[in-house]
Structure 1
Amino acid sequence: MAETNDPQAHGMSLPWPDRNSKSMLHGGSRFGFDANQEYQMPADTWNAIKANPDAIKPLLAWFVGDHYRNQLPRLLTLERYYQADNDIHFWHSDKAPDRADNRITSGLPRYITDQKVGYQFGNPLKFAYSDPHKPDDSGDDIVNAIAAFNDAVDEPYHEKVMGKNLNNTGRAYELTYVKQDSNDLALRAIDPAHCFVVYDTTIDLNSLFAVRYYMVKFMETTTYYVEVYTDSMTYYYTSSDSPNGEYTLTGQSPHFFGTVPITEYRLNDERLGAWEPKLDEIDAYDRSVSEMANSQEDFNNAILVISGDVDDEDDIDNAVPLTDADGEQVTDDEGHPIYKADSIDPKKRVLFVKATVIDNPNGGTTVIPTTASYLTKELNAKGWQTYNDRLLADIHKDTNTPDVTDQNFAANASGVAMSYKLWGSDQERATQQSLYTRGIKRRIRLLATYWAKTSLISSTDEAEHVNPSYTPNLPKNDNEVITNAVALLGSGQLSNKTFWSMIESATGVKPDGEEKLMKDQKAQEKQEGLDYMNKVGGSDQDKANQFGRPGGSQLGDGSVDDGQDDSDGRPGEAKNQPADKLGQKV
Structure 2
Amino acid sequence: METVNGKGQILDGHIFIYPADEEELDPHDLLSFMRRNIQYAKDYKHNMQMYLGNHDILHQQRRMYGPDNRLVANLPHYIVDTYNGFFTGIPPKITLDDKNENEALQQWNDTNSFQDKLSEISKQTDIYGRSFAFIYQDESANTCIAYASPTDAFMVYDDTVARKPFAFVRYWKDTESGLWTGMVYYANKIKTFKGSVVEDSDQNNMYNLVPAVEFYGNEERQGVFDNVKTLIDELDRVLSQKANQVEYFDNAYLKILGLDLDEDGDGRPDANLIGNQMIYSPNADAANADVEFISKPDGDNMQEHIIDRLVSMIYQVSMVANLNDEAFAGNSSGVALQYKLLPMRNMAANKERKFTQALRKLYRIVFSADQVVKDKDAWQDLLFDFKQNLPIDISEEADTLQKLSGVVSKETAFRNSRLIDDPKKEVERMQKEKQEEMNQALQHSASATDQMLMDDQKENDKEVVGFRKNGDSDDEEE
User: What TM-score do the two structures reach when normalised by structure 1?
Assistant: 0.68
What secondary structure sits across from 1:214 in the alignment?
strand
Query: Is 1:115 matched with 2:82?
Result: yes
> How do 1:296-307 residues align onto structure 2 when only pairs under 5 Å count?
296-301=246-251, 307=257
CA drift at 1:408: 2.2
What secondary structure sits across from 2:159 in the alignment?
coil
Higher relative contact order (CA closer than 8 Å, sequence separation 6+): 2
Query: Is 1:539 matched with 2:451?
Result: yes
Structure with the larger helix share: 2
In the alignment, what sits opposite 2:57?
A: 88
In the alignment, what sits opposite 2:378?
A: 462
Query: Is 1:182 matched with 2:134?
Result: no
In the alignment, what sits opposite 1:203?
A: 161
Return closer, same or farther for 1:433/1:374 CA change in 2, 3 Å cut-off: same
> Pairwise CA RMSD of aligned residues?
3.6
2: distance between equivalents of 1:259 and 1:373? 78
CA drift at 1:250: 9.5
CA drift at 1:428: 1.6
Return closer, same or farther for 1:345/1:249 CA change in 2, 3 Å cut-off: farther
1: distance between equivalents of 2:318 and 2:260? 59
CA drift at 1:441: 0.9
In the alignment, what sits opposite 1:379?
A: 298
Return closer, same or farther for 1:520/1:511 CA change in 2, 3 Å cut-off: same
Contact 1:445 1:463 in 2 (8 A): yes
2: distance between equivalents of 1:540 and 1:210? 73
CA drift at 1:483: 2.4
CA drift at 1:304: 6.2
What secondary structure sits across from 1:379 in the alignment?
coil
1:226 maps to which of 178, 182, 188: 182
AA matched with 1:283: D
In the alignment, what sits opposite 1:67?
A: 37
> How do 1:28-177 residues align onto structure 2 when only pairs under 5 Å count?
36-45=13-22, 47=23, 49=24, 56-69=26-39, 71-92=40-61, 95-97=63-65, 99-129=66-96, 138-177=97-136
2:289 maps to which of 355, 369, 382: 369
CA drift at 1:513: 2.2
In the alignment, what sits opposite 2:461?
A: none
Figure out how many residues of one structure are paired with residues of the other and give that number: 446
CA drift at 1:214: 2.8
> How do 1:215-254 residues align onto structure 2 when only pairs under 5 Å count?
215=173, 224-238=180-194, 245=195, 251-254=201-204
Contact 1:307 1:372 in 2 (8 A): no
> How do 1:451-490 residues align onto structure 2 when only pairs under 5 Å count?
451=370, 457-489=373-405
AA matched with 1:341: R
Per-residue CA distance 1:143-176 (angstroms, 9 max, x = gap): 3332121111111111110111111111111111
CA drift at 1:519: 2.3
What secondary structure sits across from 1:435 in the alignment?
helix
What secondary structure sits across from 1:208 in the alignment?
strand
In the alignment, what sits opposite 1:493?
A: 407
What secondary structure sits across from 2:222 in the alignment?
coil
What secondary structure sits across from 1:339 in the alignment?
coil
> How do 1:259-338 residues align onto structure 2 when only pairs under 5 Å count?
259-301=209-251, 307=257, 330=263, 337-338=264-265
Contact 2:253 2:277 in 1 (8 A): no
Choose 383-392 or 277-286, whichever is displaced more: 383-392
Contact 1:305 1:374 in 2 (8 A): yes
2: distance between equivalents of 1:487 and 1:542? 45
CA drift at 1:471: 1.0
In the alignment, what sits opposite 1:582?
A: none
Identity between Structure 1 and Structure 2 (%): 20
Return closer, same or farther for 1:59/1:158 CA change in 2, 3 Å cut-off: same
2: distance between equivalents of 1:449 and 1:215? 32
In the alignment, what sits opposite 1:341?
A: 268
